[in-house]
Amino acid sequence: MKKLVVLTGAGISAESGIRTFRDSDGLWHDYDIMEVASPEGWRRDPKLVLNFYNERRRGLYEAKPNAAHLTLAEADEEFDVHIITQNIDDLHERAGSTKVLHLHGELKKARSTADPSLIYDIEGTELNWGDKCELGSQLRPHIVWFGEAVPAMSEAAEIAHSADVFAVVGSSLVVYPAAALVQFVPSSTPVFVVDPKEVAVPSWREITFIRDKATRGVPKMLEAIRNLS
């Protein structure tokens, strides 16, 4: 079975009604990134940060996996599919994908501000000021903010390095270190990119572009992978 590694970004969830960051209707048009997604923002106004993620969580409960998530989950029968996602939503899991690595954390989880190894499922949609871990410290969203380390990166790099086929779906590839994952993919491994817009891929790499939305582009990509010699 071919090992198919798929790096997904906000674009794969766009057709489920979850806004991306950088498109014209993206979240950063309404919010200052450093106020709601950085350690400095958290120190300045934790309630604003908690409200921002509570709002995202409420939206996530209303969203459903779309045909792109579902098609990748079904592809498990044909390929050894490993999803590495920059998304904080759980739409890959809800679609049925079994190997999903979250690079930037998970919206439905909280973690202790005293001990990052203490991670909890959030019951319902709200995480509030005053919600504490078992050590008595405030809980924060289990999200990797701008300027923070990405603990899952070395595992992701190993997965990318062992790919027989590598794909990027719905990511502008401007957020590092996730965007650097392509560099770990062996030079003989075919790389596909599914995105309706231009993506910042390394110029030295041969890439098959499928310029389409994820729901149409993912089935097209799988067809092209089946036809690889």
Q: Kindly list the catalytic residues.
A: 104
Residue 141, interface with ligand NAD (CB under 6 A)?
Answer: no
Determine the interface stretch with ligand NAD among 21-29, 42-50, 114-122, 155-163 (rule: CB under 6 A).
21-29
> Is the Cβ of residue 133 or residue 194 nearer to ligand NAD in the bound state?
194
Q: Which residues contact 201 (CB under 8 A, 6 or more apart)?
A: 168, 173, 182, 191, 193, 207
Closest by alpha carbon to 193, among 175, 214, 220, 168? 168
State how far the Cα of 153 lies from the Cα of 105, in Å rounded to an integer. 12
Residue 11, interface with ligand NAD (CB under 6 A)?
Answer: yes
Residues 78-97 touching ligand NAD, rule: CB under 6 A, are: 86-89
**Taking the CA atoms of the chain, what radius of gyration do you get in angstroms?**
18
Binding pattern for the stretch 28-67 against ligand NAD, x by CB under 6 A and - elsewhere: ----------------------------------------
Residues 109-138 touching ligand NAD, rule: CB under 6 A, are: none
Residue 196, interface with ligand NAD (CB under 6 A)?
Answer: yes
State how far the Cα of 114 lies from the Cα of 142, in Å rounded to an integer. 13
Residues 163, 164, 169: CA angle, nearest 5 degrees: 65
- Return left, alpha or beta for 85; rule: phi > 0 is left, psi -120 to 50 is alpha, else beta: beta
| Footprint on this chain of ligand NAD (rule: CB under 6 A) | 9-11, 13-15, 18, 20-23, 26-27, 86-89, 104, 170-172, 174-175, 195-197, 199, 213-214
